[in-house]
Amino acid sequence: VCSLPPQPQADKMEDGMGTVKQQISRLFKNSLSAAFPEESSVEPAVAVCTQKSGDYQCNNAMGLFSKIKGKTKEFKSPNAVGQAIVRNLPPSEIIESTSVAGPGFVNVILSNKWLAKYIQSMLLDGIEKWAPVLSVTKAVVDFSSPNIAKEMHVGHLRSTIIGDTLARMLEFSNVEVLRRNHVGDWGTQFGMLIEYLFEKFPNWEDIGEQAIGDLQDFYKASKRRFDEDPSFKERAQLAVVRLQGGESRYRDAWKKICEISRREFDLVYERLGVHLEEKGESFYNLYIPKVLEELTNKGLVEESEGARVIFIEGQQIPLIVVKKDKGFNYASTDLAALWYRLNVEEAKWIIYLTDAGQQMHFQMVFSAARLAGWLPKDDNETPKVTHVGFGLVLGSDGKRFRTRSSEVVRLAELLDEAKDRSKAELRKRLEDNGKLADWTEVELDQTAEAVGYAAVKYADLKNNRGTNYTFSFEQMLNDKGNTAVYLLYAHARICSIIRKSGKDIEELKKTKSIVLGHADERILGLNLIQFAEV
């Protein structure tokens, strides 16, 4: 389920501004208020036309008819209301013709001349000029957000790819975006890690990072120790308390572990060309007591089985905000983070990307925030929060994507494989064409990276966000069909056609005007101008 960004009212924009739909809506807004001045609250309901009879349609007639039926004798049917809407449309270069179908659907066919003019402007002035106009100016996109020292898995890859895409779309639409990496850097796992480090390497400060070595292996070893030895477990739990109490030895070890983890994450982000700003869970720790105090004063927090919880109407289980052992948890951190984003960062739209399994958590956090009066009751008003959930990545066996030894796939290795496979394919093709000698090793690498990483991203994005999808290198690196490889190939071909034409494209843009003569050109044109709207 996709939640649309808040849109400004069409009539608050100037002529010629906004998406095609917004521009047409503006015309119908005028028509509606001219034809039905008593029904001033009616907003134009404009949509892309699903039938051949129009490009867009206005669907207000039926609703309006049932509103005015008793009040006036002037209109005998919804169709008559539709006719009145058409009669009152202000003159405009946008519209070629209109027709009223069945129970009053007003179909609009756009003028070819105007379409061509629009595309010409996209070409000359740049597509940025046609970015959608949103009513939010500042947003937080909380994405990627792996957990320190634990594996960064394909779920985090999906979050990274989809989150980056949403952030880019908002940035394109002139929204200031805070790209937040809400890394899990404050969990109970640190007690175990630090205690294990101190136990195995009492002098770890002298050895430094080498003591830890591979962080994932280190995590596994300490987890084994934690599960096997109750006295170690106890010490590990104490270590969390000492860390959270701010003891310097513990904080130093914590910092070092975070640093190693961060470096690994950054390598992945760099390869994917994704930019993020880290504000991990630990950052919000300071704010939790005050936020919980506020929620308690508002009467939302109560005692339940030794824990402190918030009951949400319609939910069986409450949201736990202070655990039995008095510790804070994922939910208390998310409440504090939400408070911070709303009040300190003043974000108007906060978007969270995690797999669909966390939907309930976010719903409860959002409900609590609504109860506290932090968020408006109406979902369409700002500030607004959205959880963007996504499906799992599956292996060819239909189960969660794992390596053969049933371990979580390391993202760095996954990207390596995508690159290696596309490099091998590239090499083979160049060899077949007798062109391998023309390429340097660096060029081969760069091309293999561009194709390989793009293939991974595109395969993720082309799938329905909500459903699970099966990860397959063969499919994503296929050069035929709906893949990044095919798109890159098509782009390269277009560049080659332009090159071989010997024409100066910038000159052509300025001197020639676009004419949509052929029916296919018109369809293409219509799709192009709907870019911002889509």
Contacting residues toward ligand ARG, per CB under 6 A: 142, 145-147, 182, 184, 334, 337, 352, 354
Inter-residue contact 379 to 415 (CB < 8 Å): no
Q: Which CB sits closer to ligand ARG, 54 or 184?
A: 184
Shortest approach of ligand ARG to residue 331 CB, angstroms? 9
357 C-beta neighbours (distance < 10 Å), count: 12
Inter-residue contact 383 to 347 (CB < 8 Å): yes
Shortest approach of ligand ARG to residue 416 CB, angstroms? 23
Which conformational region is residue 182 in: left (phi greater than 0), alpha (psi within -120 to 50 degrees), or beta?
Answer: beta
Shortest approach of ligand ARG to residue 184 CB, angstroms? 4
Q: Which CB sits closer to ligand ARG, 86 or 149?
A: 149
Q: Which CB sits closer to ligand ARG, 94 or 166?
A: 166
Shortest approach of ligand ARG to residue 349 CB, angstroms? 15
Q: Which CB sits closer to ligand ARG, 182 or 457?
A: 182
Which conformational region is residue 306 in: left (phi greater than 0), alpha (psi within -120 to 50 degrees), or beta?
Answer: left
Token digits of residue 504? 């100066």
Q: Which CB sits closer to ligand ARG, 145 or 386?
A: 145
Shortest approach of ligand ARG to residue 337 CB, angstroms? 6
Q: Which CB sits closer to ligand ARG, 10 or 161?
A: 161
Q: Which CB sits closer to ligand ARG, 110 or 257?
A: 257
Compute CA distances 329 → 332, 481, 519, whole Å: 5, 46, 60
Residue from 451, 358, 441, 372 nearest 142 by CA: 358
* Residue in the structure block whose two tokens are 């093709």: 429
- Residues 6 or more apart from 410 whose CB is under 8 A from it? 151, 152, 216
Q: Which CB sits closer to ligand ARG, 182 or 421?
A: 182
318 C-beta neighbours (distance < 10 Å), count: 19
Token digits of residue 222? 């300490």
Residue from 176, 57, 388, 18 nearest 7 by CA: 18
Inter-residue contact 295 to 321 (CB < 8 Å): yes
- Residues 6 or more apart from 213 whose CB is under 8 A from it? none
Shortest approach of ligand ARG to residue 162 CB, angstroms? 13
209 C-beta neighbours (distance < 10 Å), count: 13
Q: Which CB sits closer to ligand ARG, 43 or 407?
A: 407
Q: Which CB sits closer to ligand ARG, 393 or 476?
A: 393
313 C-beta neighbours (distance < 10 Å), count: 6
What is the Cα–Cα distance from 477 to 481, expressed in whole angstroms?
A: 10
Shortest approach of ligand ARG to residue 100 CB, angstroms? 50
Q: Which CB sits closer to ligand ARG, 234 or 407?
A: 407
What is the Cα–Cα distance from 95 to 366, expressed in whole angstroms?
A: 43
Q: Is the dihedral of CA 362, 365, 370, 371 positive or negative?
A: positive
Shortest approach of ligand ARG to residue 170 CB, angstroms? 17
Inter-residue contact 422 to 452 (CB < 8 Å): yes
Shortest approach of ligand ARG to residue 144 CB, angstroms? 8
Shortest approach of ligand ARG to residue 71 CB, angstroms? 51
Shortest approach of ligand ARG to residue 23 CB, angstroms? 37
What is the Cα–Cα distance from 82 to 59, expressed in whole angstroms?
A: 9
Inter-residue contact 84 to 25 (CB < 8 Å): no
DSSP class per residue in 116-140: HHHHHHHHHH-GGGG----S--EEE
